[in-house]
Amino acid sequence: MKLQNVIDVLEALYPSYLRVDNDPVGLQVGSRQQAVTKILVSMDVDMDVVHEAVAIGADCIISYHALLYAGIHSVDFEDHKGAVVAELIRQGIAVYSLHSRLDTAADGLGQWLAESIGLQNTRVFLPTINEQFGFGRVGELAAAMSVADVTALVKDVFNVKCVRFIGDNEAMIKRVAIVGGSGEEFYPEAVAAEVDLYITGDITFHTAQDAKNSGLNMLDIGHYAEHIVSEKLQQILSKAVGIPVVATTVNTDPFECL
Q: Is 185 annotated as a binding residue?
A: no
Q: Is 223 annotated as a binding residue?
A: yes
Distance CA 174, CA 152 (A): 15
CA dihedral angle for residue 199, residue 200, residue 201, residue 203, rounded to 10 degrees: -80
Sign of CA dihedral 54, 19, 65, 27: positive
> Taking the mean position of all CA atoms in its chain, how far away is CA 15?
17
Query: Which amino acid is it at 45?
Result: V
Distance CA 210, CA 40 (A): 41
Distance CA 62, CA 60 (A): 7
Sign of CA dihedral 66, 70, 73, 74: negative
Write the DSSP symbol of residue 227.
G
Q: Name the helix (H) or strand (E) containing 138.
A: strand 134-146
Q: Which of 106, 28, 107, 19 is nearest to 63 (CA)?
A: 28
End-to-end CA distance of the chain: 46
Contact call for residues 228 and 247 (beta carbons, < 8 A): no
Q: Is 226 annotated as a binding residue?
A: yes
Q: Is 65 annotated as a binding residue?
A: yes
Task: Enumerate the known binding-site residues for a divalent metal cation.
Answer: 65, 103, 223, 226
Task: Enumerate the known binding-site residues.
Answer: 65, 103, 223, 226
